[in-house]
Amino acid sequence: MNGGPIPEVTPVNQPFWDGTAVGELRIRTCHSCGTRFRFVSDWCPTCWSADLGWEAASGRGKVAAMTVVHMAPYESVAARVPYVLALIELEEGPIMMSNVVDCDPARVAIGMPVQVTFEARGDLQLPQFRPA
Amino acid sequence: MSSGVAIAASYEVPPARFPDVSPHNLYRQVAIAALRDWGLRPSDVNGLLAVPSGQGVGTIDIYTHERLGAELGLVPGVAETLNAGGASFAIMVGRAASAIRDGLADCILCIGTGKFTKPTSGGAEVMARMISEPDFEIGYGPFIPALYALVASRFMAERGATPADLARVAVSARQWALRNPRAVMHAKGPITVEDVLSSRMIASPFHYLDCSVPCDGGGAVLVTTDEKARRLTEQPAYVLGYGEAHSHGSLSSAGDRLIHTVATRTGDDAFRRAGLSRDDIEMAMLYDAFSATPLILLENLGFCKPGESGAFVQSGAIDPGGSLPVNTNGGLLSFGHTGEASGMSLIVEAARQVMGQAGANQLERAATAFVHCYGGMMYEHASLILGRSR
């Protein structure tokens, strides 16, 4: 792909990026109440427990919301236009933002099954999705 | 049913471009012009609520109330620079009402000014990091129109609204702006659904004309007790109902609330407190950063059944002469979006209509007005009902 903004790495999200580096899309699981949630916090949003684990998601999901961006908002994404910005609902439940790549943007629709893929972005591997 | 609190006066700078005026100086100019216009003296004002200025130009001042209060010679019993994005202004009126009922103050200046300057490319990426998750969203190229487009796409898929329905909202806003000399698009002539759909695509489903018009501006309202309001004006805008709720901080964390927003709760709360129903409302101001949001709000707030907002706007219901006039000043779509002050224009317009001060644009029937402001990409919400009778 053609570059783009570099995400922040923090002590809280480091294990997520360690996962993508080895081809895993990791989500968090609460050992206390069983909630599965998106990688953003070190406590459970349902019960506030700190007894959490990391789990490798299947990487399968579907498009929950999507737009085709035609006007580049800033320089670092200019070469990517037109690109698909989407919310992806993972098979395990959590919803995450992504692009849908490796296909004609006009083909992408809400409900479309997608599969995770990874794109080098700076020193990171950024999760992306392509049609399944 | 009155809350005992009313808007007694309003003031607004018509949206424009003020390239040589700093954000704080814009605040100073609007504040002193408003207070002089209202015939007040420094000892009359004992409360000050403002929003942070300079967000659009990267010089955010979160201490506006301190500087402005001192410059105006105020020693207020309640003062705060509060921020809930576009929801801030309905929230200000709610906070002012609470403060007045608690006896902290009885004459509160609520003010907002904004500069919505087109950022440089570097500035736009900094802004994108501010309005998205800097770790799990920024990598995908988010920016405000695209984030709203995600919300719109889901709404259209679930509720059946079409691009033409969205466009029809922008057409209606322009019809209102043609009647309002203060609207930034007043002299630009009417637009059609076809004009909107053939304007350039920004981020599907939003074309250029589905987006609000960035400009600079601001306004103020004076919130006081019913009694004081009646001494200041023949017809106050009584605060009849209020509701507020905050649900998420990013689209990735919205879940079902992406389109099933907590506006439903704030609307229900406001109606319950006012003792009124949807049928009692004669006009509505629904925050319209993009053409899709009034449709979502019409359904979330219960003015339309799920899936019926498209047909509602296509019928002309929200236009001049319609059954529920919406965004009667032209809305952010055609009156103008004044950055961090945008929500103030909704409050000012509703107050003016209810007080009979809307001038060329005055509605025949405006005994009750419903105002809904939200912040973020519909993350946090506040509803306000104003009326002529207590």
Is B43 domain-assigned?
yes
Mutate to test the interface with B, among A36, A67, A87, A124 (most CBs of B within 10 A): A67
Amino acid (1-letter code) at residue B80: E
Measured between beta carbons, the chain B residues lying within 8 angstroms of A41 are none
Domain ranges of chain A: 14-131
**B128 contacts A5? CB cut-off 8 A:** yes
Q: Which of A71, A87, A121 sits opposite B139 (nearest CB)?
A: A121
Q: Is a pLDDT exceeding 60 seen at residue A1?
A: no
Predicted local distance difference test score (pLDDT) of residue B128: 87
Residues of chain B with pLDDT under 70: 1-2, 56
Q: Is a pLDDT exceeding 90 seen at residue A14?
A: yes
The enclosing H or E element of B206 equals: strand B206-207
Mean pLDDT of chain B: 95
pLDDT tens figures, B90-123:
999 999 999 999 999 999 999 999 988 777 777 7
Rounded to two decimals, what is the model's pTM?
A: 0.97
In whole angstroms, what is the distance from residue A27 CA to residue B227 CA?
57
**B140 contacts A4? CB cut-off 8 A:** yes
The ipTM is 0.97
Containing structural domain, residue B268: 5-118+213-387
Is B139 domain-assigned?
no
Q: Which of A38, A67, A126 sits opposite B139 (nearest CB)?
A: A126
Scanning chain B, the segments in alpha helix (DSSP H) are 23-37, 64-71, 88-101, 121-131, 144-159, 163-179, 193-198, 226-232, 263-274, 292-300, 309-314, 342-355
Is B336 in contact with B156 (CB distance < 8 Å)?
Answer: no
**A40 contacts B253? CB cut-off 8 A:** yes
In whole angstroms, what is the distance from residue B104 CA to residue B107 CA?
10
Measured between beta carbons, the chain B residues lying within 8 angstroms of A98 are 140
User: Could you give the number of structural domains in chain B?
Assistant: 1
Q: What are phi and psi of B230, to 5 degrees?
A: -70, -25
- What's the topology of domain A14-131? OB fold (Dihydrolipoamide Acetyltransferase, E2P) (2.40.50)
Q: B67 to each of B33, B40, B250, how far by Cα in Å?
A: 17, 19, 32
The enclosing H or E element of B5 equals: strand B5-16
pLDDT bin (cut points 50, 70, 90) of residue A39 is confident
Strands B5-16 and B216-225: antiparallel
Q: Which of A68, A74, A97 sits opposite B252 (nearest CB)?
A: A97
Predicted local distance difference test score (pLDDT) of residue B390: 86
Predicted local distance difference test score (pLDDT) of residue A29: 95
pLDDT bin (cut points 50, 70, 90) of residue A6 is very high
Q: Which of B121, B146, B157 sits opposite A85 (nearest CB)?
A: B146
Matching residue, tokens 């081809």 = A23
Neighbour-count burial for B354-374, b at 16+ CB within 10 Å, e otherwise: bbeebeebebeebebbbbbbb
Strands B283-286 and B368-375: parallel
Length of chain B counted residue by residue: 390
Q: B258 to each of B301, B339, B376, how far by Cα in Å?
A: 15, 23, 12
In whole angstroms, what is the distance from residue B105 CA to residue B46 CA?
6
Residue of B335, B334, B329, B374 whose CA lies nearest to B353: B329
Matching residue, tokens 């904004």 = B114
Predicted local distance difference test score (pLDDT) of residue A2: 61
**B138 contacts A67? CB cut-off 8 A:** no
Predicted local distance difference test score (pLDDT) of residue B205: 98
Q: Which of A83, A97, A110 sits opposite B137 (nearest CB)?
A: A97
Q: A39 to each of A18, A51, A52, B253, B255, how far by Cα in Å?
A: 12, 14, 11, 11, 15
Q: How far is the alpha carbon of B252 from chain A, nearest alpha carbon, in Å?
A: 5
Give, as one character, the DSSP assignment of residue B335: I
In whole angstroms, what is the distance from residue A62 CA to residue B292 CA?
23
Is B192 domain-assigned?
no
Residue of B197, B189, B211 whose CA lies nearest to B288: B211
Amino acid (1-letter code) at residue B325: P
Predicted local distance difference test score (pLDDT) of residue B2: 66
- Count of A–B CB contacts within 8 Å? 127
Q: How far is the alpha carbon of B9 from chain A, nearest alpha carbon, in Å?
A: 39
A106 → chain B, closest CA residue: B204
CATH number of the structural domain spanning residue B350: 3.40.47.10
